Structure formats: C-alpha cells, structure tokens
Structure 1
Amino acid sequence: MNTTTSISFEKPGKYESSRFEKIHNVIFDNSVSGSIAVAHEIAELIKAKQETNSYCVLGLATGSSPIKVYEELIRLHREEGLSFKNVITFNLDEYFPMKTDNIQSYYFFMQEYLFKHIDIAPENINIPNGDCTVEESLLLCSQYEEKIRNYGGLDFQLLGIGRTAHIGFNEPGSHQNSTTRMVTLDHLTRSDAASSFLGMDNVPKKAITMGVATVLEARRIVLLAWGQNKAEVIYETIEGKVTSKKPATYLQNHPNVTFVLDVEAASLLTRINTPWVVDGCEWNSDLIRKAIVWLCKKTGKSILHLTDKDYFEHGMESLLAIEGTAYDLNIKMFNQLQHAITGWPGGKPNSDHQQRPERSTPEKKRVIIFSPHPDDDVISMGGTFDRLITQGHEVHVVYQTSGNIAVSNDEALKFAEIGLVFDPQNKTYSDIVEFINQKNSSISDSIPLRNLKAQIRQKESLGATRFLGLPDHQVHFLNLPFYETGTIKKSPLSKKDIDLMIAIIESIQPHQIYAAGDLADPHGTHKVCLDSLFMALEEIKHKPFMDDCWVWLYRGAWHEWDIHEIEMAVPMSPNQVLRKRTAIFYHQSQKDGVMFQGDDSREFWVRVEERNKDTAEKFKDLGLASYAAMEAFKRYHF
C-alpha cells in the first residue's frame, strides 16, 4: 500500500489503513475542507519551485470535483500573493470535436474557474486541442506528449474519477502504456455529462485524453472524489484488483498517490462500511443498527431469526459481549425499526410519541416542504405530502429554484408558438421562437426564454399541488438567485439566497421542515439548496419558534436512505401510490424524454415507485409488516 504524501493530512483529514486497501486515502468531513488541503499542497509545491527558480509543472483536471481546489488557489493568489508565473499546466483532456469558445469546452471551463483569475502566462497553459481533424489529432497528441517530456514531466497530477473508473478520459479497456490520444467515450460517461450539454444528444462521442502512462509518470498524484455517487467506484479502485476494466486501479502501482475523499465517497470502504470485519470496533447505537441490518442481508434471515452463531461467524462477537444474547439484541433492534414506521408523518394525536418518530403535539402542525426543483416534492415524498394534507396540517411547499434549464427548447417552443396563436403580435413570443430556431449549444438561454421555461415549471407545479388539495397561497416560488444563470454553471450561494430562505421560514414558523438530503454531488443543485437551508437554520436557530421545529431529510429519484439510516418510514397504500404517480404526471415537461435522465432509462415516476416498493420489501425482509411502498426520512439535528 502506498503511504507517501507530500504534506501532512492529519487534521481535519483522517487516514487509517486496513488490510483491504491498496491506495493511500484521506477522508475529510466535506469536499470544501478536502479541497482546501489539496490547494495548499499545490501552493507549497509552487513556492518550493520558485525558491529554486524552476518551473512547476501541473497536470490539471476539469469537472465538478476540482472546483473548490481552484477557488482556494484563486483566493491564495488574491489574498496571500501566491504567484503562478512559474507554473506550466497540462490539462488532462478535451471533448472532440470542440471549439474553445464553446461553453461546454474544457478550455472555457479552465478559463472560467481558474486561469483568468490568476497571473499565469497564457503561453504556459496547455489543453488538448479538440478543434481539429481526426488526422491532425495524431500529430497534436504526439506533440502534447513531447511538450510534457520537454518540461521534465509532471510534478503534480490532479485527478477526478468517473463512475466507469476512468481517469482523464481513459475509459475501461485503456492500456497501462497508453499515451495522449483520441478515445471513444463510454455511454455512462456521456450520460453523466448530459446535464452540462442540456441533453444526451448534445454530448460528444469522442475526446482527446492524456494516457494512463502519461498520468502514472507524474511524480505526485492526488485524486479527488466527492459524494455518494463516487462511493462504489472508489471502493472498487482502492480495494479491487488492478484491471483495465477499471483504469483508475492502475494507480495502485504508483509510489506517491493519495485519494482525497469526503465521508460519502469513502462510505463503502470496508473499514468504514463494515468495520467489524476489519478489526475490533467501538460500537455505538448507529453502528449496531447498521451491523444488524447487514447481518440480516448476509445471512438471508429476518432480525428475530438471527442466532448467537450468526453473530460469531461474521465478526460481531464483541457486540454480543456488550449487549448480551442474540435474542435480547434482536428484540431491541426489531422494536427500534418498528417504531420508525408511521402512517402519521405529522405525529399521531393523543398517542405516546415516545414510540413514534414524530411528536403528537401540536396536533395540527405548520409544515414546510422545501423542493430544490419544481417536482422533487412529489417525486421524493408525494405520498407523505398527500398524507400531511389529508391529516389536516398546514402544509406549505417552497420551490427553491425555477428549474428552468431542465425544460427542453422543443417544449418551450411549443408554448411560445401557442402564445403566438392567441397573440400573433406578441414580440416576446416571436423573439423566443426566433432565438430557439437559431440557437446553438454554445449560447446560454436568453432571459425571455428562461422566464418562459420557469413559467412552464411553475404552472406544472401548481397542477400537482392543486391535485393534492393544497391551496395556491401555500405554494411559494423562491427562484433562488444562485441558480438563475441560464447555464449549468451556477453562482455561489449569496446572502440574498440565504435571506430568502430565512424570510420564508420566519413567515411560516414551521413545526416541521422537509428538505432534499441528497449528498451525491456536492456541487449539484440539491446539495446547494440543502446548504442554503443549513446556513439559514444556523442564523435563526436561536429564535424561540425554532425550539419546536424538526427537520426531516428525504432523498431524490436516484437514491434512498439505507435501512439503518431511516428514522421515519411512511407506508403507502396502492391507492396512494397511484395518487403520487398522478401528481408526478402533472410535470409534463419532465416526462417522456426528460433532459437529465442519467444512465437510468426509466422515467422518474417508475424509478421512484420501484424505489418505494424496494424500501417496503427491505422492511418486510427484516421481519416487519408488509406494505405496498414506503417513503423514508432521516432527521437532521441543528
């Protein structure tokens, strides 16, 4: 196992090796602290090179993973005088074909996120040329390799990792001896990029990338991975065998590599996911619950059928030494899980709330459902939403962003043309039609087009909330400013965003808040919206009404809380499943060919129905009651 690092990652990062791991890795609480640590290592290297009057040759990555690293480097330049005049950069890759002025190009990305904010000489910036012919690319790739060699190779290579385990665009099948070349992109890689290109059809099928050999020749390599989406590939890369099917595993052969991870990306590493099979562990209530659910799945047994032998054979004998017999432990865990199930998400009146996830008082609660996009509410918790209304609570749904970029131009064109039928002289509609017909992928949406797309999402949302019986005056559209850029790239959260969140919370003074708790992409809209809530809560938590406010987190269409994490599970009858489906169907612009489908070809309503059904099946497999479907929540303590 490689353990060499250029700087210390003792705190706030944490590294503990295990016999399963073949690559040195450091886990941070979040992507921000991890990114700052990496930026400071790069800065120290630049300054060390300056002292010897030599170039610092950096290999740089694009994508969402390094954004915070670049932000910190910019801050160090502006506030602490870090100079980049001695820095030579070589980017990993570029799409093909791709012009440099296209907003999806990596040339544009690097200018926006780093180069135009620092004092690096333009002639010291090297990015593969995607604006050439196939024949020209052969010579250009050769020259790229030669230029790296002429500078003595890469001092430091910054990497991200794709879900295919690609580094750069070295997709599965790439050879360890590969150099800079043109490649065909994997379908999953293109799928992950679809949101940036406003649809899968616009994603290039080829790219130019540094080869695996070029990367491995770097004297120091740091790979960044953030969010739950990267957990599986990180586990396979760090603990799996070296294979061309997972090109990132080649990094196991490098003498000076570190993976910098957040908690979510590291969550499937054996020492994190199942520490009891690695060595002795310190048991707490959360870990006990996780271990017993794992043991049930491992043995194929329900909780009450687990035996002392099962615990001993799977490395959990120390738990029995603390808790007593399997019988006592099983009963305790069964009751914990059973108490998480409730048909009363707002609390059951006149009940013993010690046995339920929510308080029984006040009987009628004021509730805010925060929805990052104008459909996450019904997709992720439509059944609970319906239940809260029918049980008499004062429910408010707050759509945090307009969701306008998720509306296709074809959909917007349809509405603009309908508008012209009723008002042929309407210049706004005619300008929108003209803009769409002339638009290319390198131009962001015009403001009128954005506004039309926002109105489409807004009216669809009102259709769904009216179907569920919610009065229009309890539906709120914040249109948080961070989102309103007209492109995939969003602005940082600002005081105005947080003030809007605070204002709506203070005006309603809720007893319950529901919010999207997705941590898959730390730079995605869901995570930014969640951060805006957390920041708002931090500012107003001292207010008296906040003493009686509980926050419940739901998940989006792609993921669900693991069973051991679920603190409130709301069962749905077959009829409620159908009502939820109908509410989702009101969001017609997001149905039948949604722009950001991901690698899952199922429509959102299908995904979420199967997920809700799967959650119910998992509870059933543990020996609990059988339901048609379940929505799950985890409480956030602020």
Structure 2
Amino acid sequence: MARLNLLEETRYEKLPVTVYPNQKVASVAVAKRIADLIRSKQDRNEQAVLGLATGVTPIGVYAELVRLHKEEGLSFKNVITFNLDEYYPMRPKAAQSYVTFMNENLFDHIDIDKANVHIPDGTLKQDDIPAFCLEYERQINALGGIDLQILGIGRTGHIGFNEPGSAPNSGTRLVTLDDLTRNDASRDFGGKANVPTKAITMGIGTIFKAREIILMAWSGKKAPIIKKAVEGEISGEVPATYLQLSDHVEFILDEDAASELTRFGTPWLVKDCVWSKQLKKKAVIWLAETLNKPVLKLTEEDYNSHGMAQLAVEQGPVYNINIDIFNQIQHTITGWPGGKPDADDSQRPERAEPARKRSIVFSPHPDDDVISMGGTFIRLVDQGHDVHVAYQTSGNTAVWDDDVLRYMEFAIDFNQSIGDDNSHLKNLYEDMRSFIAKKQPNEIDTKEIRDVKGFIRKTEAISGARYAGLDDDHIHFQALPFYETGKTQKNPITDDDIKLTMELLQNIKPHQVFVAGDFADPHGTHLVCFNIVIAALRKLRETEDWVKDCWVWMYRGAWKEFETYEIEMAVPLSPEEVLRKRNAIFKHQSQKDRAVFPGDDAREFWVRAEDRNRETAQSYDRLGLAEYQAMEAFVRYHF
C-alpha cells in the first residue's frame, strides 16, 4: 500500500528522485555511495571509474570523501577519474580552472595517483581539440566505461556544458556556452566579459554510457529547472530531460531544490493532504491565481475540478473557506509596520505596544536596506520609531575600478585647492592606476584600493540612511570579518562576526529586527548575514529577557520576492512613497546603471525593486483585495 501511495505522489515524475532534508545530509549520502563503490571494487581487485563534476554542488560530496579518506581510511589507489568539462581556453593553474578546483577540493587531499586523473585540456590549440576529444572517449571505453557519473545541473538545464540544443547522442567536444551560463560564472571571473565563451565537455551520449548516474541539485534557485528536468517533456531546450531515457539515473535533491515538484509544490494534485493553515492558504491562493479569479468568487466546482475536493469536503462549504483565506490575506496588510498605537492588534501583523519601538534594519550590503524595504524603512522613521540601520559588510568588492580613480582624482584636486601637500596622495594614485592597468580577472585589490571602494559605499549608505531620516549616530557599519577577504570567495562565519552583532544588539535592545531573507542572492552574502544575526539572537536569548519580546522580520526584493501565501506583513506604498524609495536607492551611485555583479537580472536595482513591489500589490488586487501602487512584503522568523 505504501508503494502504491508513493507511486501516486510521484506520478508526474519521469525518473527516480530522492529528497533529503538539506544538502549536507544529501552530500554525505552521495559520498557514501561513491565510497561503497570504491570499496566493493577494491574487494574484487578492480578499478573504480568515476565521472566527476565541478561547481558549488559537489563540494560537500568531495569534503566528505576527504573526511572518509583521512578518518576512516578510504583509499583512492584504485580510482580513475574523468571530469565532465573545462573552460576553453583555460590555464590549468588559473583560479577558475577546473584543474585547480579539483585539486583544491579533492585530489590534493587523498591518495589518488595523479596519473589516473583526467580533465579536459583547456590549453590545446583549437585544431587539436577534436583529436583530444576522441582520445578522451577512447580512454573511457578502454576502461569499460564509467561506473558512476555525478552531475550538477545549470539553470539552462545543461549537464556538463551540454547547453540547450545539444544532441542526445553527442560525444566529448568543444561547445559554445549559453549566455546565462556565462552570467552565472561571472563572479568567479571578475565580470562576465572575462568568462570564456567556450568549453570542452563530455557529451550527453558519453554521460549516458555510465552504469550509474546521480544528478545533484541544492537550493531554491535550482527548483524551476529541476521541475522541468523531472516532470517536463523531453526536449533539446532542456538537455537534462534526456536523462529521463536512462534506466540508471537518480536525482538527489535537497528540499529547496525539490520544492516545485508537484508532490511538494501542489501536493493536493497527487494525494490527500493534512490541511495545515499554511497549506490551505497556499492551495486557495494557487487556485485563485490558476483560474484568475478573486478568492471570494471561487466555487465548489473550481475546488473539485482542480484537485481540492478533499479540502471542500473536510472544511467546506467552500465559501466559508474562501472568506477565511480572504481575511487572512487582508490581515497581512498594514500601513503601520511598527504597530498601530492604541489599536486592537489581534488581527494585525505587528503589536500595538510599545507605541514607539526600537527597530534595527540589518543590511548585508550597503544598499539592501533601501532596495528591499526602503518604503517601510522611511515609514518607520516617519511614524516616530527609534530606527537604526546596520550595514553588515563593506561591499568593497562591488565597485568599479574606474570609480576608485575618479574619487582619488577628486581628493587630489580638493587637497590642492586648500593648499595641502598632495605628494603622498599622488604617489598612491599612480600606484593604484598602475595596478588597475595590469589587474587580472578576480585579482585581489591592494588594501588601499579596497579601502577606497569601501569608503565609496560607506558614504553612499550614509547618504541613503540620512535621506530616510536617520541621524548619524543611528547608522552603524559593522564590516564583519567574514567578508573582508578582498575576494569574491568569503571566509566562514566566526565567533567574531557573531560577537560584533551581539554587541550591537545589546546596545540597542530592539523590539524589531529586520533581516534579509533573500536567499536567492547569487553571491550567498544574504544567507551568511542572516545566519549571523540569528546566531547572535539565539545566544542572547539564553541570558537576556528583552530578546524574548524582539520580533524578527525577514525582507526580500533585490533578487526574489516572497510567494503571496508566505507573506505575513504587507506594507502598501503610495506613488509618492515609491518615489521616495527610488530616491533613497539613487544615493547609491556606484550601483546605479550597471552593477559590478548584477546576477542574471539585467534590470537596475531600483527597477527590480519597483517591479517586484508593484507585482506584489497586483497579486493582492487579483485576489480581490484593495488596489495599491506597490507593496513591500515581510515574513516573520520564529525561533
């Protein structure tokens, strides 16, 4: 019976999928599969042939394999590896090379014979590549093929670098990279212009020959393409869909990557549900959006014909369900993000008391505050709350080199105008100009250049916060140590990051904490900064009573907005408030027009923010709520 239930739940899925709670657990499970294969081959005195992938996805797997080698004696003496791909052209010792990646994450830490390691050669002359690719295939075939191939998946649906349009029988070859793929790699190369346009990759046909294939994916960023790969029609536009034709493939996902699969995204379509308050709200909003109807116009027939008959039977009549959900949505709307004084707050998202709250907005980068919640920020100040802002990082990797020279030139001219000695400043400027002229992609800036970039972002943040109405003593710059590497790759969180945050919180003792919950941030800084704040609050909860009355609100907006059913506080903005928010964002001139690391969204940050805020308001309007110009959305974090 359990097997039948599982088949019913997964009937939309066209290949086997295993979902783990998080990527750490999943990575350990995959590493165990690899280790079991290696050991079983050792027992038979055979070689284990592995197909390996690069990128963020397999890092946890490689870390666990290294642990198994060092702590549990797993030997790789009998292992032969073939990597999926390599950028072209690419020097093997370059920071972005997959040779460097594999050595740093795996090969330098285990006892594998380096003669058994095979990675496509990014230094070949282009005329020599076809022969190299044929030899790569011959070597794999001579060993009897790949025993276990691990894969990631790109947001274009590529596996290896088999981009849309790749043939299912393709072999190892030189390919042209999709624009989105190059966009995603831009941070590693110090800008998209530095990302190679080509790569050497195993073909889909080569991958198919493996006796076992495991495709891994983590995070909500991969959820849309995973749904296409698992449930969509086989298409060259999504190369990963070809894996549906294999009898030896398994997708291993964390819960976030699996979140848009039918059994998780819309489970009422495949099984009977336990109708929690959140799931009921999600289902009714989904039904209204699917049918383009206001919530109060949904009918019993709508429920019955869209997989929601169980909800109608168990909790109907459906009009009562509609009214309940409508009221829940309506109660999220408030023009008083700090709570409305002397009002009944039983149906409001924030408490009425204390009437004047101490609030702190934590901003991972120096502009996230105004981009993501600038309207609410200004509203809190206008309504008389004691508002602070904390800029958690300097943001000094996201400033153009040209701006450094421009600001230095201004400083030199200013010093000269007031008669100060300019010699040291001029020498510093010439050193900077010389360094920048010879600078390699992703080369770490000198300390002086990093300082200037940090000063630029600091002064912009001060200008934006002042525009929102804050006094200077309410503007805090943390410069958390994890970020200050000068590289795009940051250090792990340490006790120093948490301690600095605890000290600030202890000084302010806020009633409200606003944190970035925008984990779609492609650079990962938002999630790191969120974890630091939550860790600091958890420690403080052990000893300080005020923390128990401190509410934490998560905001988004720079990268991806909350789903409508998730929103717990929606702050409407008038047309004038939208303009005030835009002006606050404009204070960040170094991020205007063209950001250094824009991600895959080509819109300027102020345009993204306005579009998303308008879309949130329109989604409420379509559900039958009042029509507003824009809305900023928040979800409360519960410890």
TM-score, length of structure 2 as denominator length: 0.94
Other-structure match for 1:271: 263
Superposed CA offset, 1:422-472 (max 9, x none)? 434324433222211111115322222222212211111111111111122
Structure 2 counterpart of 1:436, one-letter code: I
* Match runs of 1:322-333 below 5 Å: 322-333=314-325
CA apart distance, 1:16? 8.3
Please give the secondary structure, in 2, of the residue aligned with 1:452.
helix
User: What residue is the counterpart of 1:119 in the other structure?
Assistant: 111
Map of 1:604-615 to 2, 5 A cutoff? 604-615=605-616
Match of residue 592 from structure 1: 593
Question: SS at 1:22's partner residue?
Answer: coil
Counterpart CA distance in 2 for 1:178 and 1:26 is: 27
User: How far apart are the structure 1 equivalents of 2:495 and 2:297?
Assistant: 54
Mapped contact 1:407–1:595 kept (Cα < 8 A): yes
**Cα shift at 1:416:** 3.1
What is the CA deviation profile of residues 266-291 of structure 1, one whole-angstrom value per residue up to 9, with x for unaligned ones?
A: 11111111111112222111110001
Q: What whole-Å deviation, never above 9, does each CA across 1:72-128 have from its counterpart, x for those lacking one? A: 222223333333232222211111111122212222222222222333232222211
Q: 1:370 aligns with which of 353, 362, 376?
A: 362
Match for residue 6 of structure 1? none
In the TM superposition, residue 521 of structure 1 has moved relative to its aligned partner by 6.2
CA contact (8 A) 2:333 2:572 kept: yes
Determine whether 1:602 maps to 2:594: no
Higher deviation after alignment, 205-214 or 96-105: 96-105
Instruction: State the alpha-carbon separation in 2 of the partners of residues 482 and 156 from structure 1.
Output: 36
Distance in 2, Cα, partners of 1:412 & 1:563: 41
Q: 3-state DSSP class of the match of 1:355?
A: coil
Give 1:153's match in structure 2, choosing from 145, 150, 155. 145
Deviations 1:483-542 (A, max 9, x none): 222222222222222222322222222211111112336872222222223333333332
CA–CA distance in structure 1, aligned partners of residues 521 and 561 of structure 2 = 15
* 1:236 is the counterpart of 2:235: no
Secondary structure of residue in 1 paired with 2:164: coil
Whether the aligned pair in 1 keeps the contact of 2:150 and 2:214 (CA below 8 Å) is yes
Amino acid of the structure 2 residue aligned with 1:571: P
Compared with structure 1, are the counterparts of its residues 182 and 309 closer, same or farther at alpha carbon in structure 2 (3 Å cutoff)? same
User: What residue in structure 2 maps to residue 548 of structure 1?
Assistant: 549
What are the residue-to-residue correspondences of 1:34-45 with 2, within 5 Å? 34-45=26-37
Aligned sequence identity (%): 54
Q: Determine the C-alpha separation between the residues in 2 that align with 1:264 and 1:413.
A: 43
How many pairs does the alignment contain?
Answer: 626
Give the drift of 1:70. Answer: 2.0
Q: Could you say if the C-alpha distance between residues 633 and 442 of structure 1 is closer, same or farther in structure 2, counting changes exceeding 3 Å?
A: closer
Q: Is the 8 A contact 1:568 1:634 kept in 2?
A: yes
- Say if 1:240 and 1:601 are closer, same or farther in 2 by CA, change over 3 A: same
Q: Distance in 1 between matches of 2:627 and 2:126?
A: 58
Structure 2 CA distance, aligned partners of 1:377 and 1:461? Answer: 9
Deviations 1:571-626 (A, max 9, x none): 01111111111111111111112122233221111111011001001101111111
Name the stretch that deviates more: 617-626 or 118-127. Answer: 118-127
Are 2:618 and 1:617 equivalent residues in the alignment?
yes
- The aligned residue for residue 135 of structure 1 is 127
Give the SS at the match of 1:348: coil
Residue of structure 2 in register with 1:486 after alignment: 486
Of 285, 288, 292, the match for 1:296 = 288
Pair 1:245 & 2:245 matched: no
Aligned to 1:459: 459
- Any residues of structure 2 matched to 1:93-108 within 5 Å, and which? 93-108=85-100
Change (3 A) 1:17 1:93: farther
Which sits farther off after the overlay, 554-563 or 380-389? 554-563
- 2:54–2:98 contact (8 Å) kept in structure 1: yes
1:178 Cα shift?
0.7
**Cα distance 1:521–1:93, how it changes in 2: closer, same or farther (>3 A)?**
farther
Moved more, 338-347 or 63-72: 63-72
Aligned match of 1:574? 575
* 2:562 paired with 1:561: yes
Equivalents in 1 of 2:632, 2:157: separation in Å?
A: 32
Aligned partners of 1:539, 1:119: CA distance in 2, in Å? 41
Counterparts in 2 of 1:414 and 1:77: CA distance versus 1, 3 Å = farther
Q: Where in structure 2 are there 5+ consecutive unaligned residues?
A: 416-421
Equivalent residue for 2:424? 425
Q: Which amino acid aligns with 2:452?
A: L
**Partner SS for 1:95:** strand
The answer to whether the 8 Å contact 1:15/1:25 transfers is no
| Segment drifting more, 93-102 vs 83-92 | 83-92
Q: Distance in 2 between matches of 1:87 and 1:613?
A: 55
Offset of residue 222 of structure 1: 1.4
Q: Secondary structure at the match of 2:625?
A: coil
Equivalent-residue separation in structure 1 for 2:411 and 2:8 (angstroms): 62
**Bigger shift: 261-270 or 499-508?**
499-508
Corresponding position of 2:512:
512
Matched, 1:49 2:41: yes
Q: Does the alignment pair 1:385 with 2:377?
A: yes
What does 1:274-423 align with in structure 2 at a 5 Å threshold? 274-421=266-413, 422=415, 423=422
Contact 1:413 1:436 in 2 (8 A): no
Determine the C-alpha separation between the residues in 1 that align with 2:499 and 2:30: 32
Q: Using a 3 Å threshold, how does the CA distance of structure 1 residues 523 and 121 change in structure 2: closer, same or farther? A: farther
* 8 Å CA contact 1:416, 1:433 repeated in 2: no
State the Cα distance separating 1:420 from its structure 2 match: 4.0
For residues 282 and 456 of structure 2, the distance between their equivalents in structure 1, rounded to whole angstroms, comes to 43
Q: CA RMSD in A?
A: 1.9
| Cα 1:442/1:606, change in 2 over 3 Å | closer
1:552 counterpart SS class: strand
Post-superposition offset of 1:15: 10
Q: CA 1:473/1:333 → structure 2, altered by over 3 Å: closer, same or farther? A: same
State the TM-score, normalized to the length of structure 1.
0.94
Query: CA–CA distance in 2 between the matches of 1:452 and 1:263?
Result: 41
Is this contact kept in 2: 1:102–1:442, CA < 8 A?
no
Displacement after TM superposition at 1:406 (Å)? 1.4
Written as runs of structure 1 = structure 2, the 5 A alignment for 1:143-222 is 143-222=135-214
Is 377-386 or 65-74 further displaced after alignment? 65-74
Asked if the contact 1:15–1:26 (Cα under 8 Å) also holds between the matched residues in 2, the reply is: no
**1:267-326 alpha-carbon deviations (Å, 9 max, x no partner):** 111111111111222211111000110111122210111112211121211112222212
The answer as to whether partners of 1:550 and 1:635 remain within 8 angstroms in 2 is: yes
For the residue of structure 2 that corresponds to 1:193, the secondary structure is: helix
The DSSP-based 3-state class of the residue aligned with 1:635 is strand
**Partners of 2:521 and 2:559 within 8 A in 1:** no
How far apart, CA to CA, are the structure 1 residues paired with 2:442 and 2:299?
62
Q: Aligned residue for 2:439?
A: 439
Using the alignment, how far apart are the partners of 1:534 and 1:117 within structure 2? 34
Q: Which amino acid aligns with 1:186?
A: D
**2-side partners of 1:25 and 1:140: how far apart?**
35
How big is the shift at 1:163? 0.9
Whole-Å separation in 2 of the counterparts to 1:118 and 1:482: 28
Q: Equivalents in 2 of 1:522, 1:224: separation in Å?
A: 18
- Give the whole-Å Cα distance in 1 for the aligned partners of 2:493 and 2:138: 42
Give the whole-Å Cα distance in 2 for the aligned partners of 1:82 and 1:428. 53
